[in-house]
Amino acid sequence: MNILRLITVTLLMSIISQKSIANNHIIPDEIKDEALKALSYYPELQDANIEFRFKDSIKQSTMQARPKFSSFFKHRRDREYVILISKVFKISGKRYLTKDLPRDVMIGWLGHELGHIMDYQNRSRYNLIAFGVKYLFVDNHIMRAERAADGFAIRSGMEKYILKTKQFILNHADIDEKYVARIKKYYLSPEEIMEMVRIREEKMTSSAL
Ligand SMILES: [Zn+2]
């Protein structure tokens, strides 16, 4: 191969590979299928910089979505987000691998985290700082933030998955009682989800009329 051809091929290949990561999402292979499925419900996040990353453990939760500190002073559209996923999940003292969660449960869980990112995208950086501080200290604020994330997921059409995730947690009698109590307190109940779906559908029919 002469040198000119080699350069052309290399250039072409780099253009092609850049295209395949053009949507700015970094996803570990173990959850690629589930993450892409969850992302497919959020066309608004197609160009957002989002990294899904496994971590040894996360305080008080299994997953957590947040802006990356390194991008904090960038323009809002260049902001980068990370969804941290705890490698292990505890059920009555026993440890399970999060990547082995049932597919639909994983999709619902990731869908909820993407709901947080939808919420963050609407916020300025100062608003995000206030949001973070309040999340740490104001109980009522945690409830509002978690319900907002569920709300985004449901308005995006993910109720089937959100309900599966919720049922998985609430029906697993062996999951840490404190954790179940936390879920019940802060997140939408299955009844509230059905109500939101009803409202969404009502809006759709009335706008179609
Ligand atoms: Zn959440």
Domain ranges of the chain: 23-208
- Specify the pLDDT at position 10: 57
- Specify the pLDDT at position 13: 54
Q: How far is the CA of 94 from the centre of ligand 1 (A)?
A: 23
- Specify the pLDDT at position 157: 96
Single-letter residue type at 208: A
Q: How far is the CA of 3 from the centre of ligand 1 (A)?
A: 53
Per-residue pLDDT tens digits for 57-103: 887 788 999 999 899 888 888 999 999 999 998 766 778 899 999 99
Q: How far is the CA of 32 from the centre of ligand 1 (A)?
A: 20
Query: Model confidence at 127, in pLDDT bands (50, 70, 90)?
Result: very high
- Specify the pLDDT at position 206: 81
- Specify the pLDDT at position 203: 86
Per the confidence metrics, is the pTM higher than 0.85? no
Q: How far is the CA of 198 from the centre of ligand 1 (A)?
A: 23
Q: Are 86 and 58 in contact (CB under 8 A)?
A: yes
> Which of the residue ranges 118-127, 135-144, 175-184 has the most confident prediction, judged by mean pLDDT?
118-127
